[in-house]
């Protein structure tokens, strides 16, 4: 019998993919004067935001992180949504008394916002985060 299910948050429950890519392009172009390559983006996926930005510029990583967060937060409500079927899946798991957890590199502020925005916190979801 399944007692719990663990999901990744970004790209699994919530469609943030386009916004994440656009944010990288915007920030790298604005601060470093170039566009990241597809190879570079593939290299940094799954790492913390600090690690990602250090890859692009050790000297300006803090500035890149701040710009990334600012741009992402300004656009996240309009540009992110639950993937189709996620809400029903989480509701079904809750009805079966199966615990749900999420894992993410997103900070706790972002997790709380996502749970509130998409009304998914009541499904016994626990956000596991690495605050940055």
How far is 131 from 44, CA to CA, in rounded Å? Answer: 18
CA angle 80, 20, 66 (to 5 degrees): 110
- Strand segments, DSSP code E, in 11-123 are 14-15, 81-82, 99-103
77 is catalytic: no
C-alpha dihedral over 125, 105, 22, 43, to 10 degrees? -140
**Residue of 8, 15, 22, 50 marked catalytic:** 8
Q: Is 34 helix (H, G, I), strand (E, B) or coil?
A: coil
What are 33's two structure tokens? 């004067």
Measured between its terminal Cα atoms, the distance across the chain in Å is 36
Q: Which two tokens stand for residue 67?
A: 């710009």
**Residues carrying an active site annotation:** 8
């Amino acid at each position: 019998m399944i007692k719990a299910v663990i999901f990744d948050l970004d790209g699994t429950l919530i469609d943030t993919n386009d916004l994440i890519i656009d944010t990288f392009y915007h920030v790298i172009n604005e601060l470093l004067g170039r566009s990241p390559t597809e190879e570079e983006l593939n290299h940094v996926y799954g790492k913390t935001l600090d690690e990602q930005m250090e890859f692009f510029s050790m000297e300006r990583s803090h500035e890149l992180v701040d710009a990334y967060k600012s741009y992402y937060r300004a656009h996240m409500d309009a540009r992110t949504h639950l993937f189709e079927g996620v809400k029903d899946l989480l509701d079904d798991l809750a009805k079966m008394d199966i615990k749900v957890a999420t894992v993410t590199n997103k900070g706790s502020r972002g997790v709380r916002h996502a749970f509130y925005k998409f009304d998914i916190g009541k499904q016994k979801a626990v956000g596991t985060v690495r605050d940055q």
